[in-house]
Amino acid sequence: MTDTPFRIDVHHHQIPDVYRDALTHQSIGSAGGRDLPLWSPSLSLGVMDTYGIATSVLSISTPGTHFGDDVAARDLARRCNEASAELVAAHPSRFGFFATAPLPDLAGATAEAIYALDDLGADGVVLLSSQSDGSYLGDPKYDELMAELNSRSAVVFIHPAEPVFAPDIQVDIPIFAMEFTFDTTRAAFNLAYTGAAEKYPNIRFILSHAGGTVPYLVARFDLLWFTDDDLAARAPRGGSAYLRDMYYDTALSANPHAFSALRELVGADHVVFGSDYPFAPDVVTGLTVDGLARAPFTDSERHAVERDNALSLLPTLARRLATSSSEA
């Protein structure tokens, strides 16, 4: 792959030493059924250069930063976010970051999101689809956080979590291969169903993995609005309208099956490039690039998916890249 780097990858994970050490302390060596991969800034940059990725927006993946102790979770999230900001400062044209927030600790998550967005220059916030207490995004108990994000027109990157009931599922398939997609769907549907998407319209949500099963199930979800007057009152636009407002990344999804359903739901202007590196190995990044090359997009639509949509969605990143370019 010899493309001059131009793509912007919004689904690109980091495992900084401070985070890996914390996971080791918790005896956590895997996530979603996959062993924790090796990661370093240089490894990311190498994959980016190979596959034409100019800039990656880094994020902490599942299991997040909360392991039962609010104080420890706040400290870990702060250290991860400050490490991210330092990396972006060292490579302003190559990296951005979505700040991690230690839900289900609402006060800690809200304070950390404010600090990261206002003081560290984060490009948005990454929130897991579900939390360690079994709650999902859209739950009214998170209104304080949602209100702060809404006031800042923040981008929220929704990454799937391993749901608390996963050990009880009597299907021996790795979590990342199946249950991750369902957990993303639960969070997206819950944001619409509870009225959170109506109440906080300025938040721009990005759903991992082409929305999980959202594009396939959205018509079935819409049927609820025909029979529930309370639902119609709190979410008057109907389920699919709120889901069309969301953005969908291409990670592990750049194939005809996923794209066919996704294109029925949203236009190319709501699709953004994502690789899922390093949890998806670098060869999978190549498959994503190749899949997009064969996707039913015009050249201008494909360029929007691979770069322009992210620049429009992430103004902090766009300003930083413009500044970096002018100083080069």
The pLDDT value given to residue 36:
93
Least confident of 200-209, 245-254, 257-266: 257-266
Q: What is the mean pLDDT of residues 112-116?
A: 98
Query: Over 70: is that where the pLDDT of 3 sits?
Result: no
With bands split at pLDDT 50, 70 and 90, how would you rate the model's confidence at 326?
low
pLDDT greater than 80 at residue 2: no
Amino acid present at 180: F
Residue 144: predicted pLDDT: 98
Q: What is the pLDDT of residue 23?
A: 96
Residue 157 to residue 177: CA distance in whole angstroms: 19
The yes-or-no verdict on residue 171 having pLDDT over 60 is yes
Which letter, b or e, does each residue of 95-116 get, where b requires 16 or more Cβ atoms within 10 Å of its Cβ?
A: bbbbbbbbbbbbebbbbbbbbb
Q: What percent of the chain has pLDDT over 90?
A: 91
Supply the pLDDT for residue 28. 93
CA gap 312, 328 in Å, rounded: 22
CA 300 from centroid of its chain's CA atoms? 24
DSSP 271-306: EE----BTTS-HHHHHHHHHHHHHSS--HHHHHIII
Residue 328 — very low, low, confident or very high, per pLDDT cuts 50/70/90?
Answer: low
Rounded to the nearest angstrom, the gap between the alpha carbon of residue 305 and the centroid of all alpha carbons in its chain is 15
pLDDT of residue 307: 98
pLDDT in tens, 19-59: 999 999 999 998 888 899 999 999 999 999 999 999 999 99
Query: How much is the average pLDDT of 79-97?
Result: 98
CA distance 15 to 80: 9
Rounded mean pLDDT, 65-85? 98
**What is the token pair recorded at 219?**
């018509």
Answer whether residue 291 shows pLDDT above 60.
yes
The first and second tokens of residue 300, run together, are 């201008």
pLDDT tens-digit series, residues 180-215 = 999 999 999 999 999 999 999 999 999 999 999 999
Structure confidence at residue 296 (pLDDT): 86
| CATH 3.20.20.140 is right for the domain spanning 7-327 | yes
Q: Across the chain, what does the average pLDDT equal?
A: 95
The CA radius of gyration of the chain, in Å to the nearest whole number, is: 19
